[in-house]
Structures are given as structure tokens and as C-alpha cells.
Amino acid sequence: MNNRSDTVLRGSNDVRERIACALCARTQSVIIDRYGYNTSRLAVCCSGKWEGKRLFAKILLADPYPIPPRFRAPWEPFHRTSVPVRAITEQIDTEWNMTLNMLRLSGGRSVPVPLGRSLAARTIVWEEAGGTSLVRALKWSRLRGSMATAGAEALLKAGSWLRGVHEASQQGMEVIEARDLIQTAIGLSRQKQRNAGHYESLASKILEDWLRERGATDSFKVPRALTHGDFCLSNLLWKTGGKQLAVIDFELSGFRPIYYDLFALIADLRAMLLNPLIPKSVIQSWEQSFWQGYGQTSTEILAFVKALALARVFYYHFSRLLTRRERKGLIGGINAQLYRTFLEGRIITQRLDLPPELAHSHQI
């Protein structure tokens, strides 16, 4: 990471030239509507037009390119100094090839068509996927009932799409040594309890309860297949008019146990329960629609995914409240303290459905 070299873009003309290079087109034929950094600031994302088509382009800035796991499992320790990286040329090839693989495996459904790439320009271009992000739809669902209905329809299709990709790319089964993984997670949790003891201990309790319910069974098998790697609400777009789903962003795709994608989506939905302005009933209906679309799933995988998703609310989201001041400044820190004082207890018992004695078993 210390040897990283970041590209600095020189304005809109530079952006147009890079996109034109990826398309093997004249610079004058490319029209840019807007561009800006992505959330990680590792790439610049652009939208515009070329030969009558709407396009979306991604210009990678960092070389090597960091690829941290988006939804880290609790037994995976995270060290900021050892984030996995890929050479930028390898990353461009990976995103390009994974897009083509997803197109093939899904029968051409719901995946934006790649239009061009350039290793020299560090750029990949796709047809633009129109529609509303499901994150935005969920946040507006309280005020617009149509958004709630549309999201449920979208997640029904998303579940079906994901199941199709998993089944078409399956490469055998992988044994999940559940007890060993959970015990590792609990051990890591206890190491961090000095800084976030209440939240980490609640995450441990959730995982311990799941182990206890399993009884003597220590392991189970999970299909191994091509996974999206970041299958969350922000990467799912929905066009209500044509009832069209678009799945985007394959930079973290790879072969893994399929629970990884299931965990990512369910964990994202469970995190939305922390926002009291989003109706709980809508979140629950969206989750139900997703599982209905995904189809029959073993009770072991279902319980495993749901326990991991609920635990993540505590070991990741709640724990971040304690560092919000450092990350967001004084106002952010005050807001976090107000949330913890006035909302946290009700969120845990009424929206996450944990018993009061568990929620209050540890004092912060």
C-alpha cells in the first residue's frame, strides 16, 4: 500500500479522452454529463452518451487497487495496513471478465453490457443501467408506498437472478466448520471488547445462541460458486415502468461459498432497521421477497446467514457509533451520542427483536 500510485485527472477533457480511448472512438463523439469520485475515492465514475447510447464509465485511480471485503465476516480480522490489492491492469481485466461471466450465466438478464476498456487509460465503459437504487427506494418508502411495492418486486427478481448465477456456476461443495469459525469470531470479539465491549459481547451472544441451537452438529456443506461479492441494495437498480432489474459493480466478484452473497444482502437489510424512519414492515417484506425469489435453501444456511447478519449489526454498525466523532467530527459525535441515549434500546428490542434482558445485559 505504501507504493501506491494514484492517477490525478485533469478535468472533463481528460475524462472524455480516457473514455474515448476505451471505446476506440473520437473524443468529440463522447459527451459527459457528470463525473465524480466513488465513495472509496479510488475511482471516478462518469455518465454520458456515445453514438446515441447512454454510458457509464469507471476510471480507476489507485495502482495497486485495494479490494477490501465489503461484508467482512466476524471471524475475518481486519487490518488497515494489510488490505488485499490487485495490480490495476489485473483489476480492469477482472471487472471486465466478471461482467461477461455474469452476462453469460444470467442469460443476458439484468447485467449492463460492457462497451470497452483500456488498460492504458485505466478505464472501463458499460451501457448505463437506468433505474432507482434500492437504497434510495427503501429510504423513501415511508413517504411513497409505491417505492415499498417496487422494492419487493425488485428483490423477488434479484433473488431469482442470484440463484440462477449460483446454480449455473457451481463448482462443488465446501464444508463450513461452523463451530470453529464462530469460536474464532467470539475470540476476536473478546479481544475488541475494551473499545466496544457492549456491542461486541452482544454479537458474541447472538453467535453463541446459534451454535447452541445447532447442538452437536459442527459442520455443514455449502455450494461454492461465482459470487457477486458486494450483493447489496446500492448495487441493485429497479425501473418500475418496465419492471427491470439491473445488477451492477462486479469489482469484488469471485468464487466463494454462496452464503457470502446471501449474507451481504440480508446484512444490508438488517442494518436498515437501525433507521427508525424506515418502516420495519417494509424491510421484512423485502427480505421475504428476496428469499422467495432465491428459492429453496437449507435451514442450516438460512439460520447461519441470519445469525451472521444480525451479529454484524452490532460488531460493525453499532460499534461505529463509538468512532463517529473521529470520522465525522463534533456534530457527528453528538448525533451518535443522542442516538445511543434515546434510540438504541428501542431499536434493539423493538426493531431487531432481541429480548430486553439481552439488550440490557451489559451496560456501556
- Examine the pLDDT at 218 and tell me if it is beyond 60: yes
Q: What is the pTM of this model?
A: 0.93
356, with CB counted inside 10 A (0-12, 13-18, 19+), is exposed
Spell out the domain ranges in the chain. 5-127, 132-359
Phi and psi of 72, rounded to 5°? -75, 130
- CA-wise closest residue to 116 among 59, 42, 39: 59
pLDDT for res 2: 52
What span, in angstroms and rounded, lies between the C-alpha atoms of 299 and 306?
11
Q: What is the DSSP letter of 232?
A: S
Q: Give the helix, strand, coil percentages of the chain, each rounded to 5.
A: 50, 20, 30
Mean of all residue pLDDT scores within the chain: 90
pLDDT for res 103: 96
Percent of the chain exceeding pLDDT 90 equals 70
What span, in angstroms and rounded, lies between the C-alpha atoms of 317 and 182?
19
Distances (CA, A) of 297 to 73, 292, 353: 20, 10, 23
In the block, cell 467470539 appears at 186
What span, in angstroms and rounded, lies between the C-alpha atoms of 301 and 101?
25
**How many C-beta atoms lie closer than 10 Å to residue 192's C-beta?**
16
What span, in angstroms and rounded, lies between the C-alpha atoms of 23 and 29?
10
What pLDDT digit, counting tens, does each position of 327-339 carry? 899 999 999 999 9
Distant-in-sequence, close-in-space partners of 340: CB < 8 Å, separation ≥ 6: 321, 364
Give the residue-averaged pLDDT of 266-293: 97
Do residues 228 and 250 lie in contact, with contact meaning Cβ atoms separated by under 8 Å? Answer: yes
CATH number of the domain at 5-127, please?
3.30.200.20
Give the residue-averaged pLDDT of 129-144: 94
Give the residue-averaged pLDDT of 258-266: 97
CATH number among 3.40.50, 3.90.1200, 1.10.3470, 2.70.98, domain 132-359: 3.90.1200
Banded model confidence at residue 78, pLDDT cuts 50, 70, 90: low
> What SS3 class is residue 82?
helix
Distances (CA, A) of 151 to 106, 192, 352: 21, 37, 21
Q: What is the DSSP letter of 113?
A: P
Strand pairing category for 254-257 and 219-227: antiparallel
Question: Is residue 221 within a helix (H) or strand (E), and if so which, with residue range?
Answer: strand 219-227
Q: Which residues pair with 116 in a beta bridge?
A: 125
Banded model confidence at residue 193, pLDDT cuts 50, 70, 90: low
Q: What is the DSSP letter of 76?
A: S
Give the residue-averaged pLDDT of 37-51: 94
Banded model confidence at residue 363, pLDDT cuts 50, 70, 90: very low
